[in-house]
């Protein structure tokens, strides 16, 4: 089933269903030997983020169970980040090389890419396998927790508080990032934006044409901020051990190109964000709530 609430189901039932679907998909992906390890890790980490976005939507109504779920799905994915980060650095270097194709000497990128590939090959494949096995066991155990979830509210009342909290946190992080384009601030903003995107996906059926426009904008914003963060991490990786590379001039040029790309990404992201978060959290939730009520009444 798609990652969305149904028109005729109770919110509590929908939340349990969606979480269980994501858990089951993650388990199947770990067990699928045909998938490359880096693809498995990429997919199962997304499953965990989706569940965390889901519980954020019903955070007040979920009560103490929210913290338990958020911590579990955060911590279970952390040991898998090593391979994802190493693979991402190679891909990010390739993206930068393609972006400046014909504008910069390709050899600058190739020497740095070679070093990043070595970092990727140094990762212990057996250790990754053990971590995936532990991840699978935790996912199996988590299904009982999901089945025990109980919401203190129903209908849009179960959603409104979580929607507003996530929206306003994203809006606050936008204000921080506008004043200072620091990569850490942009990354914090990106995390909040991604949760808001998940909420828009969960609510996509309440008015598909309108919700799609908001959802697409949130996705584009999240992707831009994600790319900026990957470039920032690549920058930190390169500068943490510049002596590992033979030509320091190449490092200087590479970092300059990287910073130019980051600046453009940040500017595009802020322009989209100012439109997406133009309203207050209460106003945005008020519109969503009225549309929700019409949508649910239409099913009666």
Asked if residues 3 and 202 have their Cβ atoms less than 8 Å apart, the reply is yes
Structural domains of the chain sorted by starting position, each given as residue range(s) with its CATH number in brackets: 11-298 (1.40.20.10)
Residue 57 parent element (H or E): helix 37-57
DSSP state at residue 279: S
CA dist 3 to 83, 153, 205, 206, Å? 26, 21, 11, 13
Which tens digits make up the pLDDT trace of 87-130?
788 899 999 999 999 888 888 888 888 888 776 666 667 788 89
DSSP state at residue 182: -
Buried b (16+ CB within 10 A) or exposed e, 257-272: bbeebbeebbebbbeb
The rounded distance, in Å, linking the Cα atoms of 57 and 151 is 11
Asked if residues 237 and 229 have their Cβ atoms less than 8 Å apart, the reply is no
Which tens digits make up the pLDDT trace of 246-279?
678 888 999 999 999 999 999 999 999 999 999 9
Mean pLDDT rounded to a whole number for the chain: 93
Q: How sure is the predictor about 6, in pLDDT bands with cuts at 50, 70 and 90?
A: very high
Cβ neighbours of residue 98 closer than 8 Å, sequence gap 6 or more: none
């Amino acid at each position: 089933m798609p990652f969305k609430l149904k028109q005729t189901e109770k919110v509590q039932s929908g939340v349990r269903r969606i979480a269980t679907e994501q858990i089951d998909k993650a388990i199947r992906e770990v067990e699928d030997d045909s998938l490359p390890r880096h693809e498995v890790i990429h997919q199962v980490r997304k499953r965990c983020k989706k569940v965390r976005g889901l519980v954020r939507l019903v955070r007040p109504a979920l009560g103490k169970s929210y913290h338990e779920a958020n911590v579990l799905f955060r911590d279970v994915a952390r040991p898998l980040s090593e391979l994802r980060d190493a693979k991402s650095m190679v891909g990010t270097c390739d993206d930068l090389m393609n972006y400046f194709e014909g504008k910069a000497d390709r050899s600058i990128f190739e020497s740095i890419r070679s070093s990043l590939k070595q970092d990727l090959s140094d990762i212990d494949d057996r250790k990754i396998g053990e971590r995936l096995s532990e991840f699978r066991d935790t996912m199996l155990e988590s299904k009982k927790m999901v089945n025990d979830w109980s919401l203190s509210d129903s209908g849009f009342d179960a959603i409104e508080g979580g929607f507003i909290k996530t929206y306003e946190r994203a809006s606050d992080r936008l204000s921080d990032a506008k004043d200072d384009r620091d990569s850490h601030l942009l990354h914090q903003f990106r995390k909040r934006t991604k949760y808001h995107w998940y909420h828009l996906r969960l609510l996509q059926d309440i008015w598909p044409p309108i919700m799609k426009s908001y959802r697409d904008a949130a996705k584009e914003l999240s992707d831009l901020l994600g790319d900026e963060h990957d470039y920032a991490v690549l920058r930190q990786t390169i500068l943490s051990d510049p002596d590992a590379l033979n030509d320091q001039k190449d490092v200087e040029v590479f970092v300059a190109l990287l910073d130019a790309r980051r600046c453009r990404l940040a500017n595009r992201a802020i322009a989209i964000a100012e439109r997406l978060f133009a309203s207050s959290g209460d106003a945005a939730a008020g519109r969503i709530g009225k549309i929700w009520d019409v949508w649910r009444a239409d099913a009666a």
